[in-house]
Amino acid sequence: MSRDAILGRIRAANTTTPTTPPATPSAPPSLVSHGDSAIARFRAAAASKGMIVVDVKGPQMLPASVAEALSAARIAHGEIRLNDAALADLPWAEAGLTIARGAATRQDTLAFSRALAAVAETGTLMLTSGVGNPTTLAFLPETHLVAIDRTSVLGTFEDATALLRQMYGTQLPRSVNFISGASRTGDIGGRIVHGAHGPRQLFIFLI
């Protein structure tokens, strides 16, 4: 039996009248923040989770900021995998960096994504999948680089999900990933292991 046939039978059997979903409660006042206050709160929360936050004066300065951040962390300037058209057009060669377009593979060590929003409440990034932002970029390479506009740093998860609905309406992306730091686990012998199921390092570039 096909998927559509199964769902059709379920709908036909469901005779209950749909009810109006309850209104989403507001975030507690203690979590609400905006502008510079949200950025400061996000920066502190992200740093507490081991993320490195870098301020960038403008998009054209991003490649130089990436090169400087990688050098400071003693990470080799290998090829950076990305597929965002706007990011790809930046002056990477002038900063001594090379890029490759497309989704990430197991051989890639560096990847660049663009976040739709950041949540100051917990220091969390919200990434949506798409042609320009393949999900593999966030999970396969050992070092994940993420760009986000300062105006997209929001106070709470309620703010972030409201932005998601505003941007996508009812046609949500295939996946929405909330990322709160690089990969680590304490399941192996009770000790923290980095990179067990994702990147070992996570850099955030606030533009």
Q: In this model, does residue 178 exceed pLDDT 90?
A: yes
Q: What CATH class is the domain 32-183+194-206?
A: alpha beta
pLDDT the model gives residue 29: 76
The amino acid present at 127, given as its one-letter code, is L
Query: pLDDT tens across 80-139, in order?
Result: 999 999 999 999 999 999 999 999 999 999 999 999 999 999 999 999 999 999 999 999
Q: In this model, does residue 188 exceed pLDDT 70?
A: no
Tokens at 66, concatenated: 């990436």
For the chain, which residues make up each domain, given as ranges?
Answer: 32-183+194-206
Mean pLDDT in residue range 52-80: 96
Q: In this model, does residue 187 exceed pLDDT 70?
A: no
Classify 19 in phi/psi space as left (phi over 0), alpha (psi -120 to 50) or beta.
beta
pLDDT the model gives residue 161: 92
Q: Which of 4-8, 108-112, 174-178 has the lowest mean pLDDT?
A: 4-8
